[in-house]
Amino acid sequence: MIVRRYFGQTEEEALQKARQELGPDCVVFLSKKRPEKGGIELIVAAEGEPDLFEEGRRSKPAASAEPTEIAAETSPKASRRKLQKTDAPINRKPSLSSSSSSTTGRWIETIRREIARSAYSAEAPTLSAPRSTPSQWLERRLEEVLEAQEVAPEVRAQILENLRRLAPKGQGSATALLARALHGVVPVGRPEVQSAPVWVFVGPSGVGKTTTLAKLAARLSGTLSRRVGLLSLDVYRAGAQEQLAAYARILNLPFRVAYSPAEVQKAVEELSNCDHLLVDTPGCNPRDAEAILRLRQELRPLPRRETFLILSATTRLGDLWSAATGFYDFPVTQLILTKVDETALLGTAVTFVAQSRLPIAYCATGPELPDDLETVSLQYLAHLLLRAPDVRYA
């Protein structure tokens, strides 16, 4: 397989250069911004045996228009001196000397290491020269990533089956192809586009419900210019109301506290002019049936609502299922993952979303308000999965 790098002011320009040299079936393994090079860098692969003369020429600045040997002389003056010393005809097909092969091998190895570091955030691995098509090579690499991320085998199989259908037809980076392969396997929500006006946030204690609610309130009222009201039902945790009240003052939003279903109904009527009413709830042990029932009763005045289950990305798969089962009858409509910045392994969460079919809407990536909240897309999930640690290549 031939692996090369191309630069352009735009990705389209760099890809056009690659297709002119490698053909229309080349595959982009990496795309990144390189301002010092004038724009975008692509690392591209195509089927075929490497042309050692061409690879050697690309591995360093061009020396002479008609070199007699790769890596023999490096500067234009040196090349001219050598040509003056011999009357032998110029051999346009360079001999594949050990020096030539070594130079080419080092260059290809450098590119492959750069692919591994940039795409997978692992230590620079050693790649043996693959004897396969680019799509097969990409499939093996992504399978290793999904395994390192601890994605369940049956979910991996679905993703890879999608990838096999897409890779021979599509062009793009590993992130783009993986995103397309996730389609139909991992459901993604779009609450800001189409949802009920009342958003209720439920989940176990300590997962960051109140902070996540405040981040969304800031986004909806600020970025999207929507009228937002805040309602707290968390009357048990010390300081919970004060925390949300402080966020309401900072964001200049109306705020209410309700201690009973009747007060919930009253708050809904008072805030009826809002585009969105965000409701904070007390953290509940999903195994505590009495606490779950009490919360469901308090939410009865809110029949038309979007219920977000908030869970930590650091939670084990069994506990994720336990939480989903405990809150199932609310009913839960979408998922928010918090503490995504605290783990490099997202495979467990992706497995849960794929198996439960509960659409994932947002990921919280830190404590900063409102910046540390990401709207989830398949492209974003692919990016997270490609952070897999300890990925090694044979």
pLDDT of residue 95: 40
**pLDDT surpasses 80 at 237:** no
pLDDT (average), residues 50-57: 44
Pairing of strands 39-46, 2-8: antiparallel
Give the whole-angstrom CA distance, residue 133 versus residue 46. 7
User: pLDDT band at residue 47, thresholds of 50, 70 and 90?
Assistant: low
- The interaxial angle of helices 289-298 and 261-270, nearest 10 deg, is 40
> 175 and 33 in contact (C-beta within 8 Å)?
no
Cβ contacts of 154-163, under 8 Å, gap ≥ 24: 155/185, 155/350, 155/351, 155/354, 155/355, 158/185, 158/354, 159/185, 163/138, 163/139
Supply the DSSP string of 189-206, one letter for each residue: --TTTS--SEEEEE-STT
- Portion of the chain with pLDDT greater than 70, in percent: 72
What pLDDT, on a 0 to 100 scale, did the predictor assign at position 21? 86
What's the rounded Cα separation, in Å, for the pair 126 and 394?
Answer: 7
Distance (Å) of CA 4 to CA 30, 41, 51:
11, 11, 11
What mean pLDDT is predicted for residues 317-341?
94
- Per-residue burial over 127-163, b if 16 or more Cβ lie within 10 Å, else e, is beebeebbbbbbbebbbbbbebbbbbeebbebbbebb
Return the half-sphere exposure (C-beta side, CA atoms, 13 A cut-off) of residue 265: 7
Q: What angle do helix axes 134-148 and 153-166 make, rounded to 10 degrees?
A: 160
* Mean model confidence pLDDT for the chain: 78
Q: Which residue has the tokens 């075929």?
A: 48
β-sheet bridge partners, residue 373? 364
What is the domain partition of the chain in residue ranges?
2-131, 133-187, 198-376
Q: What is the dihedral of CA 224, 226, 232, 238, to 10 degrees?
A: 40
pLDDT at residue 72 greater than cutoff 50: no
DSSP letter for each residue of 70-96: TTT--SHHHHHHHHHT--SPP-SS---
pLDDT of residue 6: 87
Within 10 Å of residue 204's Cβ, how many Cβ atoms?
21
Q: Is the CATH number of domain 198-376 3.40.50.300?
A: yes
Q: DSSP 3-state assignment of 33?
A: strand
What is the DSSP-derived secondary structure letter of residue 383? H
Closest CA to 43 of 1, 100, 71: 1
**Dist CA 314 CA 161 (whole Å):** 28
Most confident by average pLDDT, 117-121, 132-136, 197-201: 197-201
CA pair distance 340, 349, nearest whole angstrom: 10
> What is the rounded CA–CA span in Å between residue 382 and residue 28?
15
102 or 37, which is more confident: 37
pLDDT in tens, 87-118: 444 344 334 344 444 544 454 454 445 445 44
3-state SS class at 222 = helix
- Any bridge partners for residue 34, and if so which? 39
pLDDT bracket for residue 389 (50, 70, 90): low
Lowest mean pLDDT: which of 131-135, 291-295, 310-314? 131-135
| Helices assigned H by DSSP within 150-191 | 153-166, 174-182
